[in-house]
């Protein structure tokens, strides 16, 4: 019985020692106890930042797209204007007078000019010598090819440019510019065309080469 009491006392001491023992190394917690996910505040902040970034990107893209359309529109306008002036200038430079009675001479007014010219703007099989007329009609500049004769039958009509304001032709007689050039074989020394097109003031002076 004495030995049994001593054994019980030893076991009790061992339990006390074990219970009071602390390891010098930290014991990691089980992953089960870790917290995952975001708080509601973090989610709201993230969504707000994302919305701000997307609005900036959209604004930048919209501005770039609008600017690109404006530039393309201006390029198209300038291309049409440049092509019109090139066509008119080329045919005025090629104007000449003819002694043939069947062909009419040069005639011009503020709103229209008609003359014989050598032109590359013909269809297959047509002669390069044509009777052409440039006419300001309302807000448009129209080019017509005519058949010689008193009726001046229209062979073809082409719209060169629209959106024109305050147009006028004038003609240089060697001393100054005049608005009317009488029909005949005499050619002016030069032709001037002025108008406004989409807030651009246009003035083009073309010498008549056959007079030079």
Q: What is the DSSP string of 40-108?
A: HHHHHHHHHHHHHHHHHHHHHHHHHHHHHHHHHHHHHHHHHHHHHHHHHHHHHHTB-----TTS--EEE
Within 10 angstroms of residue 97's Cβ, the number of other Cβ atoms is 16
pTM of the model: 0.62
pLDDT, position 168: 96
Q: Residue 101: which pLDDT band, with cuts at 50, 70 and 90?
A: very low
Which of 2-6, 41-45, 162-166 reaches the highest mean pLDDT? 162-166
Closest CA to 211 of 186, 182, 176: 186
Query: Within the chain, how many helices (H) and strands (E) appear?
Result: 2, 10
98 contacts 157 by C-beta, under 8 angstroms: no
Classified as helix, coil or strand, 106 is: strand
Question: Over the stretch 162-175, which tens digit does the pLDDT of each residue have?
Answer: 999 999 999 999 99
Q: Which residues pair with 130 in a beta bridge?
A: 117
What is the average pLDDT across 6-22? Answer: 56
pLDDT, position 55: 81
Instruction: Give the Cα separation of 189 and 84 in Å (integer).
Output: 21
Token output for 188: 């002016």
165 contacts 159 by C-beta, under 8 angstroms: no
């Amino acid at each position: 019985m004495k030995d049994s009491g001593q054994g019980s006392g030893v076991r009790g001491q061992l339990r006390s020692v074990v219970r009071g023992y602390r390891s010098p190394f930290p014991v990691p917690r089980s992953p089960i106890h870790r917290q995952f996910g975001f708080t509601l505040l973090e989610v709201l902040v993230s969504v707000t930042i994302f919305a701000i970034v997307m609005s900036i990107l959209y604004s930048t893209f919209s501005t770039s797209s609008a600017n690109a359309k404006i530039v393309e529109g201006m390029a198209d306008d300038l291309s049409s204007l440049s092509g019109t002036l090139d066509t008119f200038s080329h045919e005025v430079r090629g104007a000449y007078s003819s002694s043939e009675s069947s062909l009419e001479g040069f005639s011009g007014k503020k709103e229209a000019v008609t003359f014989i010219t050598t032109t590359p703007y013909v269809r297959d099989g047509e002669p390069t010598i044509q009777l052409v007329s440039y006419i300001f009609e309302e807000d448009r500049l129209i080019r017509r090819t005519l058949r010689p004769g008193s009726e001046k039958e229209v062979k073809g009509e082409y719209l060169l440019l629209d959106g024109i304001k305050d147009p006028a032709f004038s003609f240089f007689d060697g001393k100054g510019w005049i608005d009317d050039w009488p029909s005949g074989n005499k050619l002016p020394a030069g032709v001037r065309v002025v108008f406004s097109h989409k807030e651009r003031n246009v003035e083009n002076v073309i010498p008549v080469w056959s007079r030079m």
